[in-house]
Chain A
Amino acid sequence: MRFAVDGWDPAYGSGMEAEGEILTESTATISVDIEMPAGKWRPVDPSPDCAPPGAVLFVDGVRRVEARVWIDDPVSADGEVPTEATPALCASYAAGVICCSGDRSHLVGAQMRRGLFSTAAHATDIVTRTGSYTAHRVAATTAVGAGPGSLMASLSQALQRRLGDIEMATAAEARSITHKHGADKHPDDDLLVIDGPLRGRQHLPRAIGYIKSHRTTYLPDELNAMVGRLEPGQRTPVFLMGTSWDRHTWYLRLPGEPGAPWSGVVRVECAADLPKTEVIRLAGQSQACLGKYASAAYKDSRSPQNLYPIGGLERELRHRLGDPKLLYRALRAASIRA
């Protein structure tokens, strides 16, 4: 397979790559009567009965496009040199799990992959000095006339799906490890915090999704106003939200400097099919433990929502992706050899 590396900085134009929720759904169906009737909504204080879990597992993943490449069309049977090429992405991505238990916080598992995302049917793995990029063929769903922009978006989405896959794999693996190494006296006394929406991972037991930023207003105005009035540690009652998928969710304010009405507010979600008591237990646990991990403003520009363990995990994972300059150089060297 012949390919050429695009000389442009791979970061160029990546602003359009969303961090998961690519499209903003505007037609969410909301059911607010899960925990208490809408008329009686009030901020929920942390319950003293709800003990924090024995171990909190934080799952996150990072991705980085190493280069945009152009894969030459295959040489035709009559030996004619092709003139057309298909764009593709070479990306590194990694996922890992941090286990915070007692006074110890450590990485329990991490996986790193490199992939070539392309719609070209003849795309094969790219082997470089610094690692090989596994070819992932992406179905060309977009119409031909949709332009390269949407093509890149679908490649990026494919990358995001792969990242989600390994996040789930590491999470499952980490759970089995933490149970095995016996650090936790009660094997089921753990909470899995997934950075980002829970979508596609609802089946994981004792798992919550953790959403840092708010793009859409889901609640009706009168209830929504209450979110801004939450005190640190308080949360809204649980409500059920249905967009393209259903989940239980609630807003929670993390401790931190007072600021804008929504500063320090995160949205936490859990699976829709859980019994109500379990949902409320998870919500209580999120109140009991997440505040401890909230970051300080001078240490993290996304404070307090970007939790310390997640910040540390991202740093570690980015580190594991390797030196981008070195990887880029190796890709260029490989493209010349190919």
Chain B
Amino acid sequence: MPAEDSESEDAVQTSAPPVGLVAGTEDSTPLQFCVALDEDSYLQLDDVVVTLRDVPDVGPVVTSGIVTQVRARHEGASYGSDVFLISDGVLPARTQEIAEVSTTRVEPEIYVPPRPGEGVRRATGTERAQALYFDQMDSRVPVGRGRDGDPIYVNMEFLDGTRGAHVSISGISGVATKTSFALFLLHSIFRSGALGPRAVNAKALLFSVKGEDLLFLDQPNVNLNDDLKAEYAALGLPAEPFASAGFWAPPIPDDTTGRPNVTGRTSGVEAFWWTLEEFCDKQLLPYVFADAEDERNQYTIVIHQVAARLRREAMSVGDYGAVKVDGAVLRTYPDLVDLIIDRLTDEDTRADWAGPVTGTGTVNAFVRRLRSSLRPLSSIIRADLPPGPNRAISTENQQLTVVDLHNLHERAQRFVTGVVLAAETARKEDAGPGGLLFTMIDELNKYAPREGNSPIKDVLLDIAERGRSLGIILIGAQQTASEVERRIVSNSAIRVVGRLDSAEAGRPEYGFLPQAQRARATIAKPGAMFVSQPQIPVPLAVEFPFPAWATRLSECAGPVQSTPRTPNGSAVNGSGRVSSVAPSADLLSRLPDDDDIPPF
């Protein structure tokens, strides 16, 4: 926030009248105390309050905190039925509200309890910033607005790896708006100015597993009105879509032109696949076996044997990335699989390919698994398409890279995620920690489950533990943090929680939420999140604005700027408003209805 605001904020703070007094019926401690409220005042959950106590020889000690619970009760009533007498005007009673405050900061650090009877007032302006440590954040990223309408920030140093990294977002599908929040966070990181000159080199990599709703991030939202613009402005952010974005989608299966398999967006999306040459040379075979249970089985030894063999034997053939192994030219994934199976089942070659002491049972297990990968992976591992210039997924040439996986089988999704992440990690390793790469992965529990091992989990663990120094920041979203590898969750500096299932809210992974917030998380509305960061002892409730970018074709403000690819070539007409006007019904039906669709 600009420093020049502070003067006017000071004026506000001095005029804030007390809303109540520190209560004496409950123990007041330096970390938690209660406030009895005036009859004419109120405090709601998440309000920031401040109280002052004069300590001998020290001077004024300011204790600030956040309201974590508010109770109201009739004083003078002893039976439940007394309320009827009281509302009939028969029994005298007084309604008293008590707010419970969790301390966020004591300044100076003299941990004395606020004494009963001391005035408590709402913290505004500078006092609020102090209470929430915003004054100690050199660079800060707005993550939404608090219940009081003012911005809530996250310390950039806990996002960019300086003091911590990684974000973990949990919440139920459909109402937790995890993806929307992650996108808003990225927008805020890139556009708030918190990164300074590093913003130029900051990139984001997104894996989209739920429909095509991330394919319109570079298009303005048609619902962007002045109110929404004002909301963004209040947070110091431009209400604009992502300016620099690249989109990749798998090619249409059984199509020989290499068009991307998307329906909503017809231009600006590149098809991606790996050639057989890359598959052999970079030893991508382990990522074919990326299920959690795979690692527990014997045949993993075969995987590595075969991968090493392929790398040694494969020779490049032609321009399309075909390979020649043992004299046979392989152009498709089925070709490759057939060859491997042939070599493994042949008594003469088995020892060479599977290792000298591998039993047939183990080999057969491998073969069975390999064969089942045929259907999922044939469309993205191939050497029968002309290689376009942008076939390979890369974060190099744009700020935001979206990889659309929703049309792929789950096994193929794992393959793509694993290979891309490994490649980007290797690239960052070579390049050094110059820029930042924010990697957003939805359904993290699928890729890095608590139980078992897999190549992807290894990559993700590597990112979680070393990413801070490499400049790779993981933004993981999952329905249940309790099912994600513990080391990934515990390495996340920023933890965000949306609506939670009540059974899930009780798990120890959410221990950072105070009891009242846990209960609240089970009724959190879409668009409301609890953000926990290391510097602030209490998670802050935030509401983040509706996306300024389109999240579906019907939300695109204008035509998706395009080269006409539709059969009749009418994608762009003179008016500039085209096919997006009338998206066909089947097109809309393809959009997911289970998660994170604005309007919240």
Contacts and interface: CB of A to CB of B under 8 A. Distances in A.
A183 B81 CA distance: 26
B86 interface: yes
Contact of B87 (A100, A103, A293, A316): A103
Contact of A105 (B78, B81, B92): B92
Of B90, B92, B93, most A-chain CB atoms within 10 Å: B92
A185 interface: no
Given A299-B81, A309-B91, A309-B92, 19 more contacts: A98-B92, A100-B89, A100-B90, A100-B92, A102-B89, A103-B87, A103-B89, A104-B89, A105-B90, A105-B91, A107-B92, A292-B90, A293-B90, A299-B78, A299-B82, A308-B91, A313-B92, A316-B76, A316-B92
A276 interface: no
A313 B79 CA distance: 16
Of B76, B82, B91, most A-chain CB atoms within 10 Å: B91
Contacts of B81: 299
Contacts of B92: 98, 100, 105-107, 309, 312-313, 316
Nearest to A58: B92
B391 to A, nearest CB: 77
Nearest to A298: B79
A109 B340 CA distance: 96
Contacts of B91: 105, 308-309, 311-312
A80 to B, nearest CB: 46
B88 to A, nearest CB: 6
B16 interface: no
A315 interface: yes
B243 interface: no
A31 B91 CA distance: 36
A294 B82 CA distance: 13
Nearest to B82: A299
Interface in B162-180: none
A312 B79 CA distance: 12
B89 A315 contact: no
26 contacts: A100-B90, A102-B89, A103-B87, A103-B88, A104-B89, A105-B86, A105-B89, A105-B91, A105-B92, A105-B93, A107-B92, A292-B88, A292-B90, A293-B90, A299-B79, A299-B81, A308-B85, A308-B90, A308-B91, A309-B90, A309-B92, A312-B91, A312-B92, A313-B92, A316-B76, A316-B92
B241 to A, nearest CB: 56
B39 to A, nearest CB: 11
Interface string B84-103: 01111111111000000000
A100 B79 CA distance: 20
Contacts of A213: none
Interface string A75-113: 000000000000000000000001011111111000000
A313 B94 CA distance: 12
B95 to A, nearest CB: 11
Of A293, A299, A312, most B-chain CB atoms within 10 Å: A312
A299 B76 CA distance: 13
Contacts of A308: 85, 90-91
Contacts of A313: 92
Which 8 residue pairs are nearest across A and B when measured between Cβ atoms? A312-B92, A105-B89, A103-B89, A105-B92, A308-B91, A308-B90, A98-B92, A104-B89
A216 to B, nearest CB: 31
Contacts of A292: 88, 90
A105 B81 CA distance: 16
Contacts of B93: 105, 312
Nearest to B77: A312
Determine chain B's interface SS by DSSP, over half rule: loop
Contacts of A299: 78-79, 81-82
A325 B81 CA distance: 32
A316 B91 CA distance: 11
A61 B91 CA distance: 17
Contacts of A101: 89
A323 to B, nearest CB: 12
Interface in B306-341: none
Contacts of A102: 89
B89 A312 contact: no
Contacts of A104: 89
Interface in B88-120: 88-94
B310 to A, nearest CB: 85
Interface string B56-92: 0000000000000000000010110110011111111
A103 B88 CA distance: 5
Nearest to A103: B89
Nearest to A102: B89
A309 B82 CA distance: 12
B238 to A, nearest CB: 53
Contacts of B86: 105
A90 to B, nearest CB: 25
B242 to A, nearest CB: 58
A102 B79 CA distance: 22
A181 to B, nearest CB: 15
A59 to B, nearest CB: 13
Contacts of B89: 100-105
Interface string B238-251: 00000000000000
Contacts of B88: 103, 292
A315 B90 contact: no
A312 B94 CA distance: 11
A98 B86 CA distance: 12
A103 B104 CA distance: 42
Interface in A271-316: 292-293, 299, 308-309, 311-313, 315-316
A109 B78 CA distance: 22
A103 B84 CA distance: 10
A69 to B, nearest CB: 29
Contacts of A105: 86, 89-93
A293 B86 CA distance: 11
Contacts of A106: 92, 94
Contacts of B79: 299
A107 B76 CA distance: 11
A163 B144 CA distance: 60
Nearest to A296: B81
A145 to B, nearest CB: 48
Interface in B270-300: none
A293 B89 CA distance: 9
Contact of B76 (A100, A103, A293, A312): A312
Of A100, A105, A107, most B-chain CB atoms within 10 Å: A105
Interface string A190-202: 0000000000000
Nearest to B76: A312
B93 to A, nearest CB: 7
A103 B78 CA distance: 19
A103 B93 CA distance: 12
Contacts of A315: 76
Nearest to B78: A299
B81 to A, nearest CB: 8
B196 to A, nearest CB: 60
Contacts of B78: 299
A104 B76 CA distance: 14
Nearest to A104: B89
B25 to A, nearest CB: 12
Nearest to A101: B89
A176 B90 CA distance: 21
A311 B88 CA distance: 16
A98 B92 CA distance: 7
Contacts of A107: 92
Interface in B457-505: none
A223 to B, nearest CB: 32
Nearest to B85: A308
A313 B92 CA distance: 7
Nearest to B93: A312
Nearest to A96: B92
Contacts of B76: 312, 315-316
A313 B93 CA distance: 9
Nearest to A299: B79
